[in-house]
Amino acid sequence: MIEPGLFPVDPWSVSEPELCFDRLGQTESIFALSNGHFGLRGNFDEGEPHHTPGTYVNGFFETVPLPYAEAGYGYPEEGQSLINVTNGKLLRLLVDDEPFDVRYGTLQRHERTLDLRNGVLRREVDWISAAGQAVRIRSTRLVSFVQRAVAAIYYEVEAIDDPARIVVQSTLVANEPVPEQTDDSRAAAALRAPLISEYHTHNNIKAALGHRTRGSGLRMAAGIDHMIEGPDGTVISAESEPDLARVMVSTELAPGQKLTVIKLLAYGWSSVRSMPALRDQVDAALSAAKRIGWDGLLASQRAYLNDMWERADVEVEGDPQLQQAVRYALFQVVQAGARAEQRPIPAKGLTGRGYDGHTFWDMETYMLPVLTYTAPEAARDALCWRHATLELARERAHQLRLEGVTFPWRTIRGEECSGYWPAGTAGFHINADIADAVRRYVAATGDTEFERGPGFDLFVETARLWQSLGHHDAVGRFRIDGVTGPDEYTALVDNNVFTNMMAARNLQAAADVVARHPQRAADLGVDEHEVDSWLKAADSIVVPFDEELGVTAQSAGFTRYRRWDFEKTRDDEYPLQLHYPYYLLYSSQVVKQADLVFALYLCGDRFDLEQKRRDFEYYESITVRDSSLSAPIQAIVAAEVGHLDLAYSYLRETSFVDLHDLSGNTADGLHLGSLAGAWLAAVAGFGGLRDHGDTLAFSPRLPSSLTRLRFRLIYHGRRIRVDIGSDQVRYELLAGEPFEVCHYGEPVTLSQSSPQIHSYPPLDELPAIEPPPGRAAGRHGVGADGSGEGLVTALPRQ
């Protein structure tokens, strides 16, 4: 866990005021920059020391074998792994022939700041070499939101006190050694030096490298260009070889003189285009960036983010730490998806190789709700990527003897990459999660073109899956048996409520879209009989209920499983999956992460408030949160049923997951699902945002620890601000035509000229409830008063 106070509290930045060598892995992830197309880990400019060098291009991967002790039918034979591509962010510095390295000489000052307004990472260093030469180094790094293929680094060296001979080497390097992340020798061998050179070139202040992968056959090109200002007599040279290209700048600085190197970096890749085409693409991107220059790149970055914060900002009063964390979380979610443009959004974004860079259901269920209401074009692109993988999902369904499509549990290109059968194959709910993301996007944007096209295909083919996966029992109920819901501690169960309710919504949405677009239905061979079968299944879906306890069973028979002995479970035995056998987990009432509680949120229109409260309180006592994905969902439902302080603790937990390294693995990359969960917990939790019906509905309420919460969102092109105080809420339409929202079930008409102010209904006093012993809510490393708390350990995905 990162100790409290490492990052000073600031509402618009995250700063590291001094270098912490033992936190390099975490800070490399925390200071990562990305635009969704490619990303740069927050490694030092000079490259060393490092925890994990990282430059990632979205969708660029190598294939790896998937080993099995005992293979089975339908097991994927090959996996995919995101790889560290050609590193172009290196700028090595020599001062009087001595390499600048923070481990040597005297480091007088070292500060890094991630600027959330400007979208840049700044670094300032005062260093004295072992020979006594003092220099000041300033660098600013950006990955452009506007010029998708481009990154830029402003690098300045100033001599202090005495003249200094300076050499800056601006480098491209491929096949850097990186830490191996697998114990399997075959997979490790496939990822060791995965790039094969196809060309290298240099010319004065430009250089480029082109490579392809050994197994996946993907091609990529990386190029660098420069703008250099230095004293008279500055000398520039360049060289290249298959895995290395560099431009060298040599000069002598008088005291107070500066050398400035502006490095422009561009990436291109393809599975089908030729290397000459990729080389031309990179050259064009560099030329466009050089035309507007450093100041132009900075200005366009600031303009992009100004617009983003105007439409998406979340303001928190009463907890300055939380304000910083929530803004940081939103910034990283936007970075992950802004320019992905029909590529997936990995669970770690492009900040590290955790989970091999795979995309999970996190994308549709955590990240896309945020993007739908803040950057809808990015949500559309992500769904278009899912649609582009439809044929692969259809092939997977056919392999599993099912109709329609079966989308992968984890993937990069669209093939299933999980060999863990209970989740990788039986976690069918991902298909309904995708359909629900389509439903939400269309409802929030009115994008009928998308609905008629990719959305229609996704609705219909996922509905066909459920019709073939489930069956009607002897009394006519529609059952879906042998599946795994979100709770991977209760796998291969019958009638998981989350899966069944999401499937029913999927089936109903598919029937509705067929009625709206009959010609498309005819094109896909959807007839009246098929639609009737969907509606019959949706209307008769099984929802297990324990009449004796008065609670909804997470799955059939779940409330009759043995109770887990939490009192005898030591703190060091979490996560449970690493210390207890599956048979014991699968047959016990212990929940890894929100499952039935997730259904209370996403399918909340199927439960009344009193039932939600009983269900939430029952499952709160057995949910251990061995996944970082759980806290935001528990926060949302806790807020809805009236446990506001508990919800606040969970909001803090999810918001600080990476800034305080609560899961102990931030070094592998950020937890994008959990960071998106910070927005969800604030907006859907305390803002009470729900989108079950034909318009937005709000039921806002604040915990005692917060004095105000404001958030902005986009709906059908309109810009809306919701301002929640301690006893009333103000709804404002900032841009767009008047429309109607719901406040605690009552219609409210918003127009730009008439903000609406409403109070809250009385809140029932509820007795406090607690999670399982040792798993207290708000295990977020730092209390609201800045004091230390316990440690959350996240369960590695299988």
pLDDT in tens, 716-730: 999 999 999 999 999
Range 566-586 average pLDDT? 94
Tens-place pLDDT, residues 649-667: 999 999 999 999 999 999 9
pLDDT surpassing 60 at residue 89? yes
Q: How confident is the model at residue 317 (pLDDT cuts 50, 70, 90)?
A: very high
pLDDT value for 796: 38
pLDDT value for 792: 30
Range 430-434 average pLDDT? 98
CB atoms within 10 A of CB 138: 15
Distance CA 47, CA 36 (A): 23
Distance CA 28, CA 120 (A): 14
Range 146-165 average pLDDT? 97
Cβ atoms 148, 350 nearer than 8 A: no
Q: How confident is the model at residue 184 (pLDDT cuts 50, 70, 90)?
A: low
Burial of 435 (0-12, 13-18, 19+ CB in 10 A): buried
DSSP-derived 3-state class of residue 776: coil
pLDDT value for 151: 98
Specify the DSSP class assigned to residue 623.
Answer: B
Specify the DSSP class assigned to residue 21.
Answer: G
Distance CA 481, CA 495 (A): 6
**Which residues, 6+ apart, have CB-to-CB distance to 105 below 8 Å?**
98, 127, 128, 129, 130
Q: Which neighbouring-strand residues pair with 235?
A: 250
Tens-place pLDDT, residues 438-477: 999 999 999 999 999 999 999 999 999 999 999 999 999 9
Distance CA 461, CA 262 (A): 50
Range 637-660 average pLDDT? 97
Cβ atoms 536, 470 nearer than 8 A: no
Q: Residue count of the chain, please give it.
A: 798
pLDDT surpassing 70 at residue 156? yes
Burial of 515 (0-12, 13-18, 19+ CB in 10 A): exposed
pLDDT value for 183: 63
DSSP-derived 3-state class of residue 228: strand
Instruction: For 656-722, give the secondary structure using H, E and C.
Output: CCCCCCCCCCHHHCCCHHHHHHHHHHHHHHHCCCECCCCCCEECCCCCCCCCEEEEEEEECCEEEEE
CB atoms within 10 A of CB 51: 20
Instruction: With both helix axes pointing from N to C terminus, report the angle between 320-337 and 644-655 in degrees, rounded to the nearest 10.
Output: 50
Q: How far are the Cα atoms of 206, 313, 356, 551, 590 from residue 488, in angstroms, in the given order?
A: 51, 34, 20, 21, 10
pLDDT surpassing 70 at residue 615? yes
Tens-place pLDDT, residues 719-771: 999 999 999 999 999 999 999 999 999 999 999 999 999 999 988 889 989 88
CB atoms within 10 A of CB 701: 22
pLDDT value for 6: 84
Tokens of 235: 């000398």
Distance CA 201, CA 190 (A): 27
Radius of gyration of the chain, Cα coordinates, nearest whole angstrom: 27
Range 5-16 average pLDDT? 93
Q: How confident is the model at residue 1 (pLDDT cuts 50, 70, 90)?
A: low
Tokens of 613: 């409260």
Whose tokens are 């291109």? That residue is: 268
77 catalytic residue (yes or no): no
> Which string of DSSP letters, residue by residue, matches 523-570?
HTT--HHHHHHHHHHHHTB---EETTTTEE-SSTTGGGSEEP-GGG--
Range 488-505 average pLDDT? 97
Cβ atoms 8, 649 nearer than 8 A: no
Given 488, 620, 640, 653, the catalytic residue: 488
Tokens of 43: 């490694």
Cβ atoms 143, 151 nearer than 8 A: yes
Torsion angle of the four alpha carbons 339, 341, 344, 346, in this order, in degrees rounded to the nearest 10: 0
The per-residue b/e assignment along 570-606, b for 16 or more CB within 10 angstroms, e otherwise, is eeeebbbbeebeeeebbebbbbbbbbbbbbbbbbbeb
Cis ω for the linkage preceding 8 (within 30 of 0):
no
Range 263-275 average pLDDT? 96
Tens-place pLDDT, residues 390-424: 999 999 999 999 999 999 999 999 999 998 888 78
Distance CA 390, CA 307 (A): 34
Tokens of 271: 């599975």
pLDDT value for 155: 98
- Show the CA angle centred on residue 472, arms to residues 543 and 434, nearest 5°: 60
> Which string of DSSP letters, residue by residue, matches 67-130?
--SS--TT--SEEEEE----EEEEEEEEETTEE--TTSSEEEEEEEEEETTTTEEEEEEEEE-T
pLDDT surpassing 50 at residue 793? no
Distance CA 547, CA 520 (A): 44
Distance CA 312, CA 116 (A): 13
- Show the CA angle centred on residue 335, arms to residues 333 and 340, nearest 5°: 105
> Which string of DSSP letters, residue by residue, matches 165-205?
EEEEEEEEE-S-------S-HHHHHHHSS-EEEEEEEEETT
Tens-place pLDDT, residues 665-709: 999 999 999 999 999 999 999 999 999 988 999 999 999 999 999
Distance CA 624, CA 592 (A): 6
Specify the DSSP class assigned to residue 788.
Answer: B
Cβ atoms 430, 450 nearer than 8 A: no
pLDDT value for 779: 57
* Lowest mean pLDDT segment, chosen from 9-13, 179-183, 371-375: 179-183
Tokens of 316: 């928190």
> Which string of DSSP letters, residue by residue, matches 437-464?
HHHHHHHHH--HHHIIIIIHHHHHHHHH
Nearest to 123 by CA among 88, 153, 161: 153
Instruction: With both helix axes pointing from N to C terminus, report the angle between 630-641 and 609-620 in degrees, rounded to the nearest 10.
Output: 140
Tokens of 189: 């061998």
Burial of 665 (0-12, 13-18, 19+ CB in 10 A): buried
